[in-house]
Chain A
Amino acid sequence: QSVLTQPPSVSGAPGLRVTISCTGSRSNIGAGYGVHWYQQLPGTAPKLLIYDNTNRPSGVPDRFSGSKSGTSASLAITGLQAEDEADYYCQSYDSSLSGYVFGSGSKVTVL
């Protein structure tokens, strides 16, 4: 059972907007630690999408955005495209565990 909880699946039609939630607690997201998001295409290594809650590395389309509030964070994908079909993971630091934690992962399906 993951310390950070994500919905198992999220779906949307091309062009629409989807959001993925990442719910934590006062020992991780709620403690002020940064939240980072990764995209993992089938059979490939994860790719950093968002770092420190809201920042995009160079080369990541601005269709991807991150936010954080309280003990939760969210990843939004606007203008959904077929190539966005992938697994998405949030990640943060947990002070109780003294280490990093990943979310349970969310599979995005483009209808």
Chain B
Amino acid sequence: NAGVTQTPKFRILKIGQSMTLQCTQDMNHNYMYWYRQDPGMGLKLIYYSVGAGITDKGEVPNGYNVSRSTTEDFPLRLELAAPSQTSVYFCASSYLAGGRQFFGPGTRLTVL
């Protein structure tokens, strides 16, 4: 099993550009999550999904959108990128809502 995979690993965007961060898991987990991690700030939940077709906002959803058309994929869309969205983005999945989460390797995004 590959676990949770994320693409791209790195990306530089200009202000106002848009992009999609890809996340795929092969563990047949229903729960998937997107976090951002800023230095010294821990992990902040952006959006999460409890199954295909169901998504909900986390702690910091502004400026982001998600969709979940399949169990495996949970892409994160950034519209109109801003410098405040410079961060490391992690996708995670879990079998249970409060259970062990498996994380991807992260996407390092810089907005200039």
- Do A and B pair up? The answer is no
B residues near A (Cβ < 8 Å) are none
A residues near B (Cβ < 8 Å) are none
